[in-house]
Amino acid sequence: MTYLEQFKAYEKKLQAYQYVLNVVGWDSATEAPKGAFERRAEMQSMIAQEAFELWTSDTYLETLKALEAQDDLSEIDRKSVKKAGEALRKVNKIPADEYAAYDKLLALAQRTWEEAKANDDYDSFKETLGKIIETSKRFITYRNEDKAPYDVLLDDYEAGMSMEKYDAFFDVIRQDLVPFVQNVLNNRPEKPAFIDRHFPKAKQKEFVEYLNEVFAYDLDKGLLKESVHPFTWNTHPSDVRYTVRYLEDFLFSSIFAGIHELGHATYEMGIDEAFTETRLKGGTSMGIHESQSRFYENVIGRSYAFWTVHYDRLKSIFDEALHDVDLDTFYLGINWVEQSFIRVEADELTYPLHIMIRYECERAIFNDGIALDDLPDLWNQKVRDYLGIHVEKDTDGLLQDVHWSGGAFGYFPTYALGSAYAAQIYYAMQKELDIEAIIKADDIPQINAWLKDKIHQYGKSKTPEELLLDVTGEPFNPHYYIEYLKAKYGPLYIG
């Protein structure tokens, strides 16, 4: 066997392990009985261990090194080998015992955080948080990169990003968007009352299934289920599933989380199968993935044009709850702006402010060495500055998100970046397609085809920076995002 054949055989085997773990993960998040937890966790960890040993074995590394020195590889193979090398070297420089200890720390941290959140007791989580931060910093030093630790983390979650770039992005948000949001908040009419009405679960499900048709989600390759937190799951373009949750007192949760996940799913389904056996399979980055889901959810799903076509259907399903709600009121309802404490419940306009708070806190932790005792005050001060509300309890403040207890520092900013990418992509698409007319003609497949042609098909073969440049003709430019938000929310609230 050549080194290349050997490498491909390893990769295929690693993918097989991953496939099994993914299916178990899907089962566990959707329909596995609670009682199965312990046995499943044991079986899962044995398989994960096998995969980890293969991946970090000397023979795998030797094969990889041999291929890295080879200059006759195809472009796909070369990029795949490069990605495999990058992924392995993030891990294999960490001593095995420290890696295992960190795994254990995170498993315990999950529970500690859940309890701290339930009891509104930051102090009981602080020590664990400190250990996670300290360990992530130490792991970064093993990689010997000539970069600030937080820059390393930011680049891990979104290749090419750094504090310098995010600072510039959030400066624009702080200067341009924060005053605009305040203006919107000061000009709000009365909150549409229908939002709080009762929407039976079975009917919500009927409408989400209708959305599957509207967005041309291929049910031969897809599956819709229910879970506590909505997510998209995939192993291959021929198997891309998603979940929603049905809240009977909040209709928008299933509709917009559904459309959001359909955006992620359509991306994964559109990736060229030539990348399947390589490291180039899957979406290219968190930010680009999120741009696709936000494009679906906000640019299409929360547009007036979309509901001119689909509101009658919704109304016919929820005849009781919506009989006296006209289209304009419904449109205001789905784009209702308010100051809220909780990120996952935030509207499209205030969402980036929630992310900015998290980015600035993480930056303070990793770059400015803020004492963990001072973190709640810093968080709460930023909530006052940007959203104008006072955090009463840490449960609604810095304890609300799962990310830090999972060691995922540097992840948050990709959410806001995704929305901003989506706006830049929107203006590029607008030059070639009459988006509003297409939405009104109920022809989403035309938009899907454009996205597939420009973005989806490439998988990881283009970096986020390359992709954005090729699609929009310029590097990331946050001003499109501000322009998009002002063009939408200005007329709706300020006139």
Catalytic residues: 261
Between strands 232-236 and 239-244, the pairing is: antiparallel
Query: d(Cα 215, Cα 224) in Å, to the nearest integer?
Result: 14
Shortest approach of Zn ion to residue 179 CB, angstroms? 28
Residues 274 and 294: beta-carbon distance below 8 Å = no
CA atoms within 13 Å, Cβ hemisphere of 423: 20
Shortest approach of Zn ion to residue 232 CB, angstroms? 7
Shortest approach of Zn ion to residue 294 CB, angstroms? 7
Q: Is 293 in the site for Zn ion (CB under 5 A)?
A: yes
Of the pair 149, 410, the CB lying nearest Zn ion is at 410
Residue closest to Zn ion (Cβ): 293
Shortest approach of Zn ion to residue 267 CB, angstroms? 10
Terminal-to-terminal C-alpha distance of the chain: 69
Of the pair 275, 411, the CB lying nearest Zn ion is at 411
**Which neighbouring-strand residues pair with 327?**
none
What contacts 458, CB < 8 A, 6 or more positions away? 271, 272, 284, 467
From residue 101 to residue 140, what is the string marking binding to Zn ion with x (rule CB under 5 A)? Answer: ----------------------------------------
Number of neighbouring beta carbons within 10 Å of residue 102: 19
C-alpha triplet 236, 241, 242: angle, nearest 5° = 140
Shortest approach of Zn ion to residue 257 CB, angstroms? 9
Cα-Cα-Cα-Cα dihedral sign, residues 343, 347, 350, 351: positive
Q: Is 419 in the site for Zn ion (CB under 5 A)?
A: no
Number of neighbouring beta carbons within 10 Å of residue 123: 11
Contact set for Zn ion, span 141-160 (CB under 5 A)? none
Task: Choose one: 47-55, 134-142, 292-300, 450-458; the region binding Zn ion (CB under 5 A).
Answer: 292-300
Closest listed residue to residue 420, CA positions, set 455, 380, 375, 468: 468
Query: d(Cα 125, Cα 402) in Å, to the nearest integer?
Result: 12
Task: Choose one: 15-23, 130-138, 286-294, 322-330; the region binding Zn ion (CB under 5 A).
Answer: 286-294
Q: Is 461 in the site for Zn ion (CB under 5 A)?
A: no
Of the pair 235, 293, the CB lying nearest Zn ion is at 293
Closest listed residue to residue 353, CA positions, set 366, 333, 338, 368: 338
Of the pair 293, 395, the CB lying nearest Zn ion is at 293
Of the pair 188, 225, the CB lying nearest Zn ion is at 225
Task: Choose one: 120-128, 243-251, 293-301, 383-391; the region binding Zn ion (CB under 5 A).
Answer: 293-301
Task: Choose one: 288-296, 334-342, 352-360, 459-467; the region binding Zn ion (CB under 5 A).
Answer: 288-296
Shortest approach of Zn ion to residue 88 CB, angstroms? 27
Of the pair 259, 485, the CB lying nearest Zn ion is at 259
Site size toward Zn ion, by CB under 5 A:
1
Closest listed residue to residue 285, CA positions, set 454, 161, 432: 161
Residues that bind Zn ion (CB under 5 A): 293
